[in-house]
Structure 1
C-alpha cells in the first residue's frame, strides 16, 4: 500500500497563473452575459417585401419593359402604398419621370394592363352610353355596338342612326360616384364607358360625341 502524500503548496508562479486564469474566466463570462442581454434587447430585423424599382432614370410616357425594372427587397414599413408587385408593371406607361432605384407604384403609372391582350394600335376611347338603363348592365369585358344619331343638317332634327362601332369590348365602367380610374388610368365620366377600338373608329366616335348610344350585344 502506497503512503499518502501531502499536496505540495503552490508556488508564487502557480498562484499568479491561477489568478490570471480566474480573471480571464470572469471577463469571458461577463462578456457572454452582456452579449445575451444585447441580443435580448435588440429588436428583430423587420420583414421584407419584394418590390419593383426603376433600373435607370426613366422619362414620363415610357412604356415599361423587363429591362427597365429590377427587383429589390425593402423593409415592409418602407414599402409605399400601391407598390407594383413583380410581373405587374410590364406594359404600363409612366405618368411621370422616375429616378433609378425608385419604387414603382400605381400612382406613377397609367393604363397598366388596360389594353393588355388587345391588337397593336388599339386605342381606349370614351363613349357616352346615352341610356342609363344600359349603363347599369355594362361590365368590363362586355361587347357592345355604338350607334350615333343622325340629324337633318338644316333643321337639326333627328333623322335616324348610324352604326359607328360594331362588337367592341368595354374596358372600364365608371363607379357609382363617377370617380376613380382603372389601375391609374383616367376613368370615364359618369354616363360613359371606355371601349377598345382602332384608330379610324376612334376618330368616328370623336366626331359623333354627344350623339352616341351604346347597345349591349348578347354574349
Structure 2
C-alpha cells in the first residue's frame, strides 16, 4: 500500500510538471501573439488570370478577385468582376495585373480633361496594326467633299472587337476595326462627319 501511494505521488508530480510546462508554453505563445504586429491591411482587387490583349471583351474566366496589400495598390482600382466583364480592354495587360477604371471601356474616365472620345471605323489595312496607345493621323472626306487630314496625332484609346457589333459605342461597321480616339473638341464635328460617311484612313506616328 505504501509503495502504491509512493507511485501515485510520483505520477502526480510528473503530470504537474508537464501541465506547468504546457501552461508556460501557452503563456509564451499568447504573449508573442499580442506583441506580433498585425499583417498589412489588404483590399479585394480584380486581377487578370492570363495575359490579355487590348480590345478584347473581358470574360468572367479572364479575371479573378484577390486580396492584396493596400500599400502595393494604386489610388483607384477595380474590385469586383462585374466592373470589367463584358467590357473591352483599353490596354494590353499581363497575367496578374490589377485592373484600373481606365483599363476597360466605359463612358467615364476615357479622355483626358478637355478632350472627348469618338468611335470611328478605320480602313481594312488597320486590322492587326493599330494598338491601344498609338498616335495616328486621321484621314477622310470632309464636308467640302475633299479628302485630307482630319486630325493629327490623336491617341487610340481602345481597339474594339469588330465582331461584337452590339456595342453601344460602335458606329456602323465597315471593313476595318472600330477604334476609340481621343479628340480635342474643335476636331470632333469634322471627324464625326467624315466617320459617318465611311471608314477613315490613317497614318501612324
Give TM-score scaled by structure 1 length.
Answer: 0.46
Pick the structure with more helix per residue: 2
Q: Which has the larger radius of gyration?
A: 1
Give TM-score scaled by structure 2 length.
Answer: 0.48
